[in-house]
Amino acid sequence: MNYAIFRSEPIMTAHDLVQIWSHNQGEKKSYDSNLDIRALDSYKNLELVPLNSKYVKGFKELNKEYEKQHNEKQKTERKERQRSYTQMLNQSRNCVADE
């Protein structure tokens, strides 16, 4: 019998992207001790937006124009209000991506 699992979950920080990539690819160290998880079958996972790299790198590639706009805007901000692109993503309390 075949079945599919479809999850839709918001990803709130760039760090979460790293964790989710490791989970989806079956590369977490904790999976080595769980015999129910077969990392060799991770190639069967279907990705709606396939990436040839890790999620964070792919995310940066997909959003490079937005990051460029953010960096330009930061040049006009007061020094105490300036934030890097990653800081803005992590502190915004908005959904960075969806899994």
Q: Is residue 5 part of a domain?
A: no
Domain with 50 in it: 10-98
Say whether 96 sits in a helix, a strand or coil. coil
pLDDT band at 48 (very low <50, low <70, confident <90, very high): confident
pLDDT band at 53 (very low <50, low <70, confident <90, very high): confident
Q: Please state the domain count of the chain.
A: 1
Q: Is residue 76 part of a domain?
A: yes
Q: Is residue 4 part of a domain?
A: no
Angle at which helices 14-24 and 55-62 cross, to 10°: 130
Interval 31-43: pLDDT, tens: 666 677 676 777 7
Nearest-angstrom CA–CA distance, 72 and 66: 10
Q: Is residue 3 part of a domain?
A: no
* pLDDT of amino acid 26: 65
Q: Is residue 26 part of a domain?
A: yes
Cα torsion 14, 15, 18, 24 to 10°: value is -90
Q: Which amino acid is at 64?
A: K
Q: Is residue 50 part of a domain?
A: yes
